Amino acid sequence: MTHNIKEIRVKDNLIVEAVFFCGVVKDFDVSLLFEKYPEYKVLKEDNTLWQNAELLPQGSGVYINDEMDLTAEEIWKYGKTVGKVPVEPNTPAQTPSSVMWRKQVNNAFSVVNISFLC
């Protein structure tokens, strides 16, 4: 199962808060990457680069620049769960990991949305 991010908020202390489509909220401390990936240390000195981080299409991760990003799975696995927000019920295709299919009812088709929750 994949975990996709609905929205992010970058904090001044190099922590990204990610709200996943299933409602789970996680904080990920980017400074934990400094030892293994020294190129991320530039974020300590370049606050503008950090503040301009963006959510990747379909919530697959966080784009920092062409050399640095964070995957949604990395944030899910290593981030600290800090809360949960309500998931809007009956929202069609609310998550990229939703499965959409059509079923025939009385010679008409209707769309069925099955969301995989965290």
Q: Averaged in consecutive runs of 10 residues, what is the pLDDT profile of the chain (118 residues)? A: 92 95 96 95 95 95 95 97 85 46 50 51
Give the model's pLDDT for residue 1: 73
pTM to 2 decimal places: 0.76
The single-letter code of the amino acid at 37 is Y
Q: Where are the beta strands (DSSP E) in 3-117?
A: 5-10, 15-20, 24-29, 54-55, 61-65, 68-71, 80-84, 99-105, 108-114
